[in-house]
Amino acid sequence: MAKSSTSKKAGANPSRGAARPSSARATGRPAGLFTWIALAVVVVVVVALVVIKVSGGSSSGGSDVFQPTDATTLRQITTVPTSVFNAVGITSSVAPVAAPIPLKGQPPLTATTSTGTRVPEVFYLGAEYCPYCAAERWPTIVALSRFGTWHGLGDTTSGAKDIYPGTPTFTFLKARYTSPYLAFRSIEAYTNVYSSALNFYTPLQKPTAAENALFKKYDTSTYIPGMPSSADGSIPFISLGNRYLVSGASYSPASLTGLTRSQIASGLSNAQSPVTDAIVATANYLSAAICQLTKDHPGTVCQSPGVMAAKKAMGIK
């Protein structure tokens, strides 16, 4: 996985440094195309930055104005045709795609709905500047759209001072998600606005003690195979009900380079588009993991050929 200092997953370059939500900052880890050596160096450098105190100063390379996602783009990313999911399956010609990591024997992560129903929860922690988070939000939104409805998504891009600058994506800052099957909770720890005083990006949302404990426990080499301890706390991090983990981007953000948000979104209806392959293949993997949480509901999603292919690759019966 590709990561940022609060980032990881299969198939990307180590991020220059995504920030950890606590007192330290991590870096983005690639999904598997690059080694961890460069990442370890990044982590050391980024952690050093955290001691700098905020004292004002100019910002550049981003916008702190919330920009709601327009209706056309929202429809395109939340109504990907079933035929596209099934045609793509888990195959991507543009970049290797990593599946969520299984987690066994841990307490389930759940939430209570407004009606008092206890449901599995998906928890995301990332940052707006992080290019690996930028890449991972696309399939996360697409996958969760198959189980519920999004409200309040906003447009953003990854930081101008990071690797893969200006990667088009969305922010979960004001997002709300409703579903009869599961709940979604998110933290965007930093904006994409660079602060010269901090020599880093501006803080945005702070995780609760429970959220930070979840992040610090599971986004580590103890639970992420092949990850050195020096890369603990990379972003993006996603816990799918504490049964599956995503640590870093599931595919390289390089796949999105040179494309606009509109081009990527409109391409999601075309199974022949290489970037669509990377996003949709990842979404099928995420859907397969979510189906484990929802006990294969809805069946139209969980028994679809694309999700069944992901289940088979993940060893899910």
pLDDT of residue 114: 78
End-to-end CA distance of the chain: 24
Q: In what order do the strands lie in the sheet with 67-68?
A: 67-68, 154-157, 168-171
Helix (H) or strand (E) holding 154: strand 154-157
Q: SS3 for 29?
A: coil
pLDDT of residue 49: 29
Task: Report how far Cα 27 is from the mean position of its chain's Cα atoms.
Answer: 14
Per the structure, the count of domains in the chain is: 1
How far is residue 151's CA from residue 173's CA, in Å, rounded to a whole number?
11
How far is residue 156's CA from residue 66's CA, in Å, rounded to a whole number?
8
Per the listing, tokens 């940022």 go with 4
For residue 120, whether the previous peptide bond is cis, meaning omega lies within 30 degrees of 0, is: no
pLDDT of residue 30: 46
Residue 248 in tokens: 């870093």
Q: What is the mean pLDDT of each run of 10 residues along the chain (317 residues)?
A: 48 35 42 31 31 32 83 98 97 93 96 90 98 98 98 97 96 97 97 95 97 97 92 95 97 96 97 94 98 97 98 95
CB 191 within 8 A of CB 129: yes
CB atoms closer than 10 angstroms to residue 76? 20
Residue 19 φ/ψ, nearest 5 degrees: -90, 145
How far is residue 186's CA from residue 310's CA, in Å, rounded to a whole number?
25
pTM: 0.85
Domain residues for the domain of 240 are 3-314
CB 122 within 8 A of CB 144: yes
